[in-house]
């Protein structure tokens, strides 16, 4: 089994390679660093979707250390970036998952269409089962033709019970039944899949709010966690989605998918810096084991070393 660092190293390879090539090109040779140099560095950092604010702070730190004679090379810059980003990600720590005092811990999954939400539900089930926990899934994506069927297939593959309705059925009723069934079966986790919703459609977002309310009627403390699944490959748009969902739901964590297929790995940092949401898991591939808990030290090491 590969280490967490190896997973992150593989998943962030495109981001790291792109960044290192640009920095090597900018800071190669013996020329003195000037404003044009710093502008190019800022553009290189922004291209990874670290965000303008974070990139600007990093450039200011690099400029200050260079003028004080503390750094001289592109490798030094990567070291400064590693130190600064790790400090940012470590702010306020990583909160623990809010587990139920009694009965199952209910996790409600939300996100836009195509973010990898349903697959992430299955991968989460697999992860928790490897920790020795029991899981029940609620197939609440009744809006999409293959949504319920897709999760049921995953359930059979993993040996996990799935509560689902028919296409076009009441998603809130599915969620209610899943929580009730999970309570009766005494499982550790109930994970509720929901239909993909565009954050720009308020009527569709209101349906998600209904699912949340109905879950609370069966279990007053639930959902204990609401996790937003975001496609990392869309870069800055991922930050916009997280911002808009956060206006309507008390998001308690993020699952960032498809990180291995993009050079935009910096968006992880941008979301954390602006919104403060803890990143719970990172999706680094298509296999069932390719959803891994977020480890900030492994992330930064893989990106900047």
Q: What is the CA radius of gyration of the chain?
A: 21
64-67 own/partner pairs: CB under 8 Å, 24+ apart: 66/33
Q: What does CATH list as the number for 105-295?
A: 3.40.50.300
For residue 162, what are the contacts with CB-CB under 8 A and spacing of at least 6? 136, 137, 138, 139, 151, 152, 154, 155
- Compute the distance between CA of residue 161 and CA of residue 104 in angstroms, rounded to an integer: 14
pLDDT in tens, 109-146: 998 878 888 999 999 999 999 999 999 999 988 777 67
pLDDT digits (tens, 9 = 90+) for 33-62: 888 888 988 888 888 878 888 889 889 999
Give the pLDDT mean for 258-268.
70
- Percent of the chain whose predicted confidence (pLDDT) is above 70: 93
Burial of 169 by CB count in 10 Å (0-12 exposed, 13-18 middle, 19+ buried)?
Answer: middle
What DSSP character marks residue 95? P
Other C-beta atoms closer than 10 Å to the C-beta of 215 total: 26
Top-tier CATH class for 4-90: mainly alpha
What are the domain boundaries of the chain? 4-90, 105-295
**What stretch of H or E contains 253?**
strand 253-257
Digit-coded pLDDT (tens) for 148-196? 888 999 999 999 999 987 777 788 899 999 999 999 999 999 999 987 7
pTM of the model: 0.87
Confidence of residue 1 (pLDDT cuts 50, 70, 90): very low
């Amino acid at each position: 089994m590969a280490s967490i660092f190896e997973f992150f190293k593989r998943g962030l390879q495109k981001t790291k390679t792109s960044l290192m090539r640009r920095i090597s090109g900018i800071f190669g040779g013996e020329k003195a660093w000037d404003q044009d140099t710093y502008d190019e560095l800022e553009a290189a950092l922004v291209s990874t979707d670290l965000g303008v604010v974070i990139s600007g702070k990093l450039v200011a730190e690099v400029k200050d250390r260079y003028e004080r004679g503390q750094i001289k090379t592109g490798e030094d810059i990567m070291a400064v970036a590693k130190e600064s980003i790790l400090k940012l990600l470590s702010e306020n720590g990583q909160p623990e998952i809010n587990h139920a005092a009694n009965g199952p811990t209910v996790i409600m999954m939300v996100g836009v269409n195509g973010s990898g939400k349903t697959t992430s539900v299955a991968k989460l089930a697999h992860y928790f089962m490897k920790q020795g926990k029991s899981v029940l899934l609620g197939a609440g994506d009744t809006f999409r033709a293959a949504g319920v069927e897709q999760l049921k297939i995953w359930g059979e593959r993993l040996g996990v019970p799935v509560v689902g309705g028919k296409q076009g059925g009441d998603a809130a009723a599915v969620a209610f039944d899943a929580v009730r069934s999970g309570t009766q079966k005494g499982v550790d986790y109930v994970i509720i899949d929901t239909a993909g919703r565009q954050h720009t459609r308020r009527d569709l977002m209101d349906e998600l709010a209904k699912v949340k309310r109905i879950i609370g009627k069966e279990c007053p403390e639930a959902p204990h966690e609401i996790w937003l699944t975001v496609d990392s490959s869309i870069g800055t748009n991922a930050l916009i989605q997280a911002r808009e969902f956060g206006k309507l739901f008390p998001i308690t964590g993020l699952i960032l998918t498809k990180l291995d297929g993009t050079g935009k790995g910096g968006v992880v940092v941008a979301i954390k810096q602006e919104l403060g949401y803890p990143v719970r898991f990172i999706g680094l591939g298509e296999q069932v084991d390719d959803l891994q808990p977020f480890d900030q030290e492994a992330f930064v090491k893989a990106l900047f070393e």
